[in-house]
Amino acid sequence: MSILRLTFLGTSAAQPTLHRNLSGLAVKANTDLLLFDCGEGSQRQMVRYGTGFSVDAVFFTHFHADHYLGIIGFLRTLGMMGRDGAVQLYGPPTARRLLHQAVHLGVESLSFPVEIHELRDGDTVRRRGYSVQAVAVDHRINALGYVLQEDERPGKFNLEKVKEFGVPSGPLYGQLQRGEPVQLADGRTIRPEEVVGEPRPGRRLVISGDTRPCSAMVKASREADLLIHESTFSDDEQARALETRHSTAREAAQVAREAGARRLILTHLSSRHDTDPSRLLTQAREEFKGPVEVAYDGLTVELPLRD
């Protein structure tokens, strides 16, 4: 998987603002396009930020209205665009009931199949070159976070060593890179481990969804390349965070620190922090010393390959 690109479609909590739409994240994973949540207005944001509409699957963190109502119009738009391939919808239990209602709202039937799947803690969806795992989190209703884990990548190909062995360039190089031994014209056999380094870990992207800080998210985020964690509130709103089962920016940063995550992006901001999230950023940086930023609508992030 060469491409892992994220586009934040919506970064506001509960209600849209002039500057922030409701929750939505588009992830380009090689040739796949995934959505994580689809708040009202997400399809407009997809047009605005150029993600394209060729969505393969949508993963819902939970079924509060601000995280899923956008799927109704989005599916209708796909139908009008002539979509014929199936769309996969995933979410925690109640997904089949709620998403079935959303899919069939209105009089027009869709021109393509919509397949609805319920996920529970630990369930994994295999895709080509990566997987998406569900993680049960701590919110007011049944809710999931998600871990996108790239498959282990082959080790580095030692071109100088290959040339020393006298392997002719061409198809034999490919065989060695695929882990297959090759036989040379003089009868020698060159094994992959002689010219290819140790396998390299794949990239790890973690999306918290709506949650209180919890041990499950810490475990899921171990050495993650990027943790995207909700940070609805600031320190002075701690009581509100407890009441609504959300996190403060400081708590999100503590999760990142305990997990040893490489990078943290804060999202799902209360309207109180709409145009000035500086307090959230300051409080998070007091806890987490790695790179940390506050997401905004249209922010695009490319996760580089691990060495």
Clarify whether 66 is annotated catalytic.
Answer: yes
Other Cβ atoms less than 10 A from the Cβ of 186: the count is 6
Residue labelled with tokens 């082959």: 154
Q: What is the CA radius of gyration of the chain?
A: 22
User: CA–CA separation, 18 vs 21, rounded Å?
Assistant: 8
| Both tokens assigned to 235 | 């320190």
Given the residues 32, 37, 56, 66, the one annotated as active site: 66
Contact 149, 231 (CB under 8 A): no
80 closest CA partner among 103, 112, 56: 112
User: CA–CA separation, 93 vs 121, rounded Å?
Assistant: 11
Largest CA distance in the chain: 76
| Both tokens assigned to 228 | 């995207």
Task: Quickly list H helices, the chain.
Answer: 42-49, 65-68, 70-80, 95-103, 159-164, 171-177, 215-220, 238-244, 249-259, 278-285
User: CA–CA separation, 43 vs 40, rounded Å?
Assistant: 8
Q: Which residues are catalytic?
A: 66
